[in-house]
């Protein structure tokens, strides 16, 4: 009898866990796949879980997450993250690649566990640059073992790339639940789908209109038109519902859950991020209103405890984006209908790939002023300081034109014949 | 639990489906709990040391491994059983040719390609010794002579653009190709049956939710009754020689295959590598109803163990398994 009661409890628990997973995982992306879209059939779990163990951590039969995910995401499914391309078209994926991208070997990546690095599987143990607690020194940050599932929730989330919200990244950011719940809110609210590959600069259909800047007329899309690719940092897509989400912060908030020195608070004019009074925090969810906390670079501390004033302020709109091929995030307080979106905000993904890049890093000899990661391409889109030049078109190029390709291996394609860049 | 398959029909009423599935889930979880309590004293097996139920360990014996190969994804053997062709999904991205005894002979790749422009994912050998290689990046099937010399591409007549993924050849030399492409403008999840000259004998399959539908078909085998076994992201589906859906294999319980990585036929048995369960599952396919007939392998990098087994090939006396994450070909004796 006692045993039966126990069984009942276990079975019930199992059902609750299962049902919870199923109901909670609302479809995130339109492209289908085994994530999210769960119908209540056991076969949708069998793709990743073994049949004969208890519900719990052992449920996963596969020993490493990289091996599991790449069983599908290395040439079978449409998104081949190992080679950084969309199967069939060869278009570069937004996230770049883990082993190859844009026809070259990867030079820096988020080194997930079991990723082959020079032939040896990586341990995945890593330290996310950026302070431990978001307020201290800008150096050593949170530590852990990086896996695909550190960032993605394989069961789906409301985020358009099934990114994890901060609360379920708890092993990375254990402190400040209040702040985290706000960050989670931002990440999960970024649920609009967007193409997972870079726009092909050669096809008209893919070209959005580039917003005009000042006196420059708006270019009309057409064959050969330089396309401004974009990433949706996300928009809240519930029609008719006034949005309290500032959509452009979702992705920055996500990166800042680990790179915590970017998880800064910033007040209005006159407040720096660190002394913004907690008292201004409003009631309800989010517990802190967006104008109070901006995950961003603008007020991040440098390695010496100083607020770095001239860091690029991600998560803020620039009014009009420079005309160049980097990607911008969407902005708009109530982004419905989607047609009203403007892609003109700088975010982490304006300069960085999320997975890995093949950009070269050849710093000038004797560069001691910025002792960064020497010869580390830091997941950047372009070689060396190519991303900077892309906007600050300092190399004798008219401001409205794509910058001179200072990088040889990775041309910032404005020519119709070149390979698409994200 | 019964051992026979439950054949599933076409599309069903969604709601009923949901109910049935819920009940099944409850029953399954309950059975799981019972199993764990009674058989294992409530202790779940340790992660990384899976137990494979109902497997007959004596079903096949580990013989030896051939390495190194870079993340082998597919393997084929010549009709005489003397040569082995291994498609690599890392490193040189070549098809490595070995004597089945183990010594390397050559590496073959299509001309004018490099390791960042090619991506072999399927390999099969025709009755005449022609080696067929599907390439995911080039979106072609390449034909090579038995000695590794490049010959030409093979295309289905009348189809200009396709994205072949898996390939196999039957006793009569007919070529079976699985295509998987899911672009917003073009969705192809289907099987072609081709003559060696490219004439399309048959084509079938599409994406969908029904049991008979396909979701990125990635492995293929043709059994002794001419039935076409298709492995995809949702399991294994079996079609008649005419391409009409017959049944699918279960994904839970004995003989379950979660994510098939490759399939091959020996006599009346179909061997399926169950990638994420790190084992090979065998089905007796001599009758209309197919039944699980054991299996072998566990997770690990030791002898007789696999880490994400992928493609599989069989000659008269040996079973060759592309042991993807262990970077080797495991050779077993039936």
Look up residue A214 and give its DSSP letter: T
CB atoms within 10 A of CB B125: 22
Indicate which of A12, A21, A61 best probes the interface with B, i.e. most B CBs within 10 Å of its own CB.
A61
Report helix, strand or coil for A110: coil
Sheet holding B140-144, edge to edge: B120-125, B131-135, B140-144, B150-154
Helix, strand, coil percentages in chain B from 3-state DSSP, rounded to 5: 10, 45, 45
Closest residue of A to B164, CA-based?
Answer: A88
User: How many A-B residue pairs are in contact by the CB < 8 A criterion?
Assistant: 167
User: Which chain A residues touch B308 with a CB distance below 8 Å?
Assistant: 62, 67, 71
A250: part of which helix (H) or strand (E)?
Answer: helix A250-256
What's the number of domains chain A is made of? 1
**Angle, alpha carbons A38-A43-A46 (nearest 5°):** 105
CA gap B31, A55 in Å, rounded: 12
User: Smallest CA–CA separation between B80 and chain A, in Å?
Assistant: 30
CA gap A405, A411 in Å, rounded: 6
B116 touches chain A (CB under 8 A): yes
Cis check for the bond before A82: say yes or no (omega within 30 of 0). Answer: no
CA gap A359, A220 in Å, rounded: 31
The reply to whether A297 falls in a domain is yes
B51 touches chain A (CB under 8 A): yes
CB-based contact A79:A96 (threshold 8 Å) = no
Which of these, B33, B15, B43, lies nearest to A15 by C-alpha position? B33
B15 touches chain A (CB under 8 A): no
Report helix, strand or coil for A383: coil
Buried b / exposed e across A56-88, counting CB within 10 Å, b at 16+?
eebbbbbbbbbbbbbbbbbbbbbbbbbbbbbbb
Average pLDDT, chain B: 86
Sequence-distant (6+) residues with CB within 8 A of B235 are: A43, A46, B248, B249, B250, B251, B257, B258, B260
**Digit-coded pLDDT (tens) for B44-76:** 333 333 334 334 455 789 999 998 999 999 999
CB atoms within 10 A of CB B276: 26
B74: part of which helix (H) or strand (E)?
Answer: strand B72-77
User: Which chain A residues touch B50 with a CB distance below 8 Å?
Assistant: 50, 52-53, 61
What size, in residues, is chain A?
422
CB-based contact A168:A38 (threshold 8 Å) = no
Q: Does residue B107 have a pLDDT over 60?
A: yes
CA gap B149, B145 in Å, rounded: 5
Nearest Cβ partner of B33 from A11, A40, A68?
A11
B residues 230..259 contacting A (CB < 8 A):
233-235, 251-253, 256, 258-259
> Cβ of A40 and B163 within 8 Å?
no
- Positive or negative, the CA dihedral B264, B270, B275, B279 is negative
> Cβ of B258 and A63 within 8 Å?
no
CA gap B119, B275 in Å, rounded: 20
Look up residue A260 and give its DSSP letter: G
Sequence-distant (6+) residues with CB within 8 A of B180 are: A76, B163, B165, B188, B189, B216, B217, B218
User: Which chain B residues touch A76 with a CB distance below 8 Å?
Assistant: 121, 165, 180, 216, 218, 233
Q: How far is CA B306 from the centre of its chain?
A: 15
Which of these, A339, A379, A59, A347, lies nearest to B29 by C-alpha position? A59
What residue numbers bound the domain in which A180 lies? 78-397
> Cβ of A88 and B45 within 8 Å?
no
CA gap A33, A31 in Å, rounded: 6
The reply to whether A90 falls in a domain is yes
- Find the mean pLDDT for residues B124-142: 96
Look up residue A371 and give its DSSP letter: -
Whole-number CA gyration radius for chain B: 20
CB-based contact A160:A338 (threshold 8 Å) = no
Which of these, A210, A253, A266, lies nearest to A349 by C-alpha position? A253
Look up residue A342 and give its DSSP letter: E
Closest residue of A to B138, CA-based?
Answer: A88
Nearest Cβ partner of A42 from B89, B137, B251?
B251
The reply to whether A36 falls in a domain is no
> What number is the ipTM of this complex?
0.82
Which of these, A393, A386, A394, lies nearest to A411 by C-alpha position? A386
Cis check for the bond before B68: say yes or no (omega within 30 of 0). Answer: yes
pTM to 2 decimal places = 0.82
What distances in angstroms separate CA A69 from CA A47, B116, B163, B260, B264, one per listed residue? 10, 21, 21, 14, 24
Most confident of A373-377, B3-7, B178-182: B178-182
Confidence of residue B303 (pLDDT cuts 50, 70, 90): very high
Sequence-distant (6+) residues with CB within 8 A of A55 are: A13, A14, A17, A18, B29, B32
CA gap A27, A35 in Å, rounded: 8
The reply to whether A17 falls in a domain is no
> Cβ of A54 and B163 within 8 Å?
no
User: Which chain A residues touch B51 with a CB distance below 8 Å?
Assistant: 52
The reply to whether A177 falls in a domain is yes
Look up residue A209 and give its DSSP letter: P
Sequence-distant (6+) residues with CB within 8 A of B168 are: B124, B175, B176, B220, B221, B222, B263
* Residue A154: per-residue pLDDT: 84
Sequence-distant (6+) residues with CB within 8 A of B215 are: B189, B207, B232, B233, B234
Q: What token pair was written down for A417?
A: 């014949």
User: Smallest CA–CA separation between B132 and chain A, in Å?
Assistant: 18
Answer with the residue of higher pLDDT: B78 or A257.
Answer: B78
Which of these, A357, A66, A334, lies nearest to B308 by C-alpha position? A66
> Cβ of A116 and B30 within 8 Å?
no
User: Smallest CA–CA separation between A310 and chain B, in Å?
Assistant: 39
CA gap A374, A366 in Å, rounded: 11
User: Smallest CA–CA separation between B259 and chain A, in Å?
Assistant: 5
CB atoms within 10 A of CB B200: 15
- Find the mean pLDDT for residues B248-254: 82
User: Smallest CA–CA separation between A314 and chain B, in Å?
Assistant: 32
Report helix, strand or coil for A67: helix
User: Which chain B residues touch A58 with a CB distance below 8 Å?
Assistant: 44-47
User: Phi-psi bin for B81: left (phi > 0), alpha (psi -120 to 50), beta?
Assistant: left
Q: What token pair was written down for A40?
A: 């209540």
- Positive or negative, the CA dihedral A369, A373, A374, A375 is negative
CB-based contact A12:A4 (threshold 8 Å) = no
CA gap A111, B79 in Å, rounded: 42
* Residue B1: per-residue pLDDT: 34
Look up residue B268 and give its DSSP letter: T
CB-based contact B137:B117 (threshold 8 Å) = yes
What residues pair up with B66 in beta bridges, in sequence order?
A: B329
Confidence of residue B119 (pLDDT cuts 50, 70, 90): very high
B180 touches chain A (CB under 8 A): yes
User: Which chain A residues touch B252 with a CB distance below 8 Å?
Assistant: 42-43, 46, 51
Confidence of residue B177 (pLDDT cuts 50, 70, 90): very high
The reply to whether A359 falls in a domain is yes
Q: What token pair was written down for A163?
A: 């990114």
B279 touches chain A (CB under 8 A): no
Place of tokens 């928009």: A235
Those residues of chain A that have pLDDT short of 70 are 1-34, 36-44, 50-63, 130-141, 158-160, 165-250, 261, 263-345, 363-375, 390-422
Q: How far is CA B34 from the centre of its chain?
A: 32
CA gap A377, A288 in Å, rounded: 35
Alpha helices in chain B (DSSP H): 14-40
Which of these, B316, B312, B317, lies nearest to B297 by C-alpha position? B312
The reply to whether A108 falls in a domain is yes
The reply to whether A292 falls in a domain is yes
User: Which chain B residues touch A100 with a CB distance below 8 Å?
Assistant: 116
B37 touches chain A (CB under 8 A): yes
Alpha helices in A167-246 (DSSP H): 177-189
Confidence of residue B289 (pLDDT cuts 50, 70, 90): very high
Mapping DSSP onto H, E and C, the string for A117-176 reads ECCEECCCEEECCCCCCCCCCCCCCCEEECCHHHHECCCCCCCCCCECCHHHHCCCCCCC
CA gap A354, A48 in Å, rounded: 24
């Amino acid at each position: 009898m006692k045993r039966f009661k126990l069984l009942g409890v276990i079975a019930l628990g199992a059902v609750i866990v299962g049902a919870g997973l199923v109901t909670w995982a609302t479809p995130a992306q339109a492209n289908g796949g085994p994530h999210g879209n769960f119908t209540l059939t056991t076969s949708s779990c069998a793709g990743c879980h073994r049949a004969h163990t208890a519900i719990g951590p052992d449920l996963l039969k596969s020993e490493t997450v990289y091996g599991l995910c790449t069983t599908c995401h290395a040439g079978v499914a449409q998104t081949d993250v190992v080679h950084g391309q969309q199967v069939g078209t060869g278009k570069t994926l937004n996230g770049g690649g883990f082993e190859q991208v844009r026809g070259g070997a990867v030079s820096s990546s988020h080194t997930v566990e079991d990723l082959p690095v020079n032939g040896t599987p990586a341990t995945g143990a890593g330290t996310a640059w950026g302070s431990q607690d978001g307020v201290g020194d800008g150096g050593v940050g949170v530590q852990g073992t990086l896996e695909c599932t550190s960032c993605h929730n394989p069961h789906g989330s409301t985020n358009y790339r099934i990114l994890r919200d901060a609360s379920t990244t708890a092993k990375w950011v254990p402190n400040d639940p209040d702040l985290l719940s706000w960050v989670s809110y931002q990440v999960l609210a970024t649920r609009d789908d967007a193409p997972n590959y870079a726009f092909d600069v050669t096809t008209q259909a893919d070209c959005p209109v580039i917003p005009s800047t000042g006196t420059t007329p708006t270019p009309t899309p057409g064959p050969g038109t330089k396309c401004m690719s974009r990433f949706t940092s996300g928009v809240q897509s519930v029609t008719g519902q006034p949005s309290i989400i500032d959509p452009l912060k979702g992705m920055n908030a996500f990166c800042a859950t680990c790179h915590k020195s970017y998880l800064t608070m910033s007040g209005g004019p006159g407040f720096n991020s660190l002394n913004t009074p907690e008292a201004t925090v409003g009631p309800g969810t989010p517990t802190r209103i967006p104008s109070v906390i901006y995950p961003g670079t603008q007020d991040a501390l440098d390695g010496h405890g100083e607020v770095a004033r001239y860091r690029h302020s991600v998560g803020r709109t620039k009014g009009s984006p420079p005309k160049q091929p980097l990607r911008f995030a969407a902005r708009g307080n109530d982004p419905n209908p989607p047609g009203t979106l403007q892609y003109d905000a700088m975010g982490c993904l304006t300069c960085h790939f999320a997975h890995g890049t093949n950009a070269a890093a050849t710093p000038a000899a004797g560069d001691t002023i910025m002792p960064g990661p020497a010869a580390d391409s830091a997941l950047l889109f372009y070689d060396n300081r190519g991303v900077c030049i892309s906007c600050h078109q300092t190399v004798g190029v008219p401001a409205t034109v794509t910058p001179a390709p200072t990088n040889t291996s990775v041309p910032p394609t404005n020519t119709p014949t070149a390979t698409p860049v994200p | 639990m019964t051992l026979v398959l439950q054949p599933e029909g076409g599309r069903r009423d969604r709601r009923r489906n949901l109910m049935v599935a819920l009940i099944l889930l409850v029953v399954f979880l309950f059975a799981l709990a019972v199993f764990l309590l009674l058989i294992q004293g409530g202790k779940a097996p340790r992660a990384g040391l899976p137990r494979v139920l109902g497997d007959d360990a004596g079903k096949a014996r580990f013989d030896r491994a051939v390495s190194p190969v870079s993340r082998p994804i597919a393997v084929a053997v010549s009709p005489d059983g003397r040569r082995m062709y291994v498609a690599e999904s890392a490193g040189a991205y070549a098809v490595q040719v070995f004597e089945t005894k183990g010594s390397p002979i050559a590496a073959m790749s299509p001309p004018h390609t490099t390791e960042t422009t090619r991506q072999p994912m399927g390999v099969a050998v025709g009755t005449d010794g022609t080696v067929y290689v599907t390439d995911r990046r080039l979106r072609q099937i390449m034909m090579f002579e038995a000695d590794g010399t490049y010959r030409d591409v093979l295309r289905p007549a009348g189809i200009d653009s396709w994205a072949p993924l898996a390939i196999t050849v039957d006793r009569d030399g007919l070529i079976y190709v699985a295509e998987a492409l899911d672009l917003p403008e073009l969705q192809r999840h289907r099987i072609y049956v081709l003559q060696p000259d490219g004439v399309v004998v048959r084509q079938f399959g599409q994406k969908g939710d029904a049991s008979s539908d396909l979701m990125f078909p990635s492995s293929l085998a043709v059994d002794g009754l001419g039935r076409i076994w298709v492995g995809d992201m949702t399991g294994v589906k079996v079609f008649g020689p005419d391409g009409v859906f017959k049944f699918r294999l279960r994904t839970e319980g004995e003989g379950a295959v979660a994510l098939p990585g490759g399939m091959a036929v020996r006599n009346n048995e179909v061997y399926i590598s169950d990638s994420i369960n790190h084992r090979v599952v065998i089905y007796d396919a001599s009758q209309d109803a197919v039944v699980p007939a054991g299996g072998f392998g566990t997770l690990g990098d030791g002898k007789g163990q696999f880490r994400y087994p992928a493609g599989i090939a069989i000659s008269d006396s040996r079973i060759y398994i592309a042991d993807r994450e262990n970077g080797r070909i495991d050779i077993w004796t039936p």
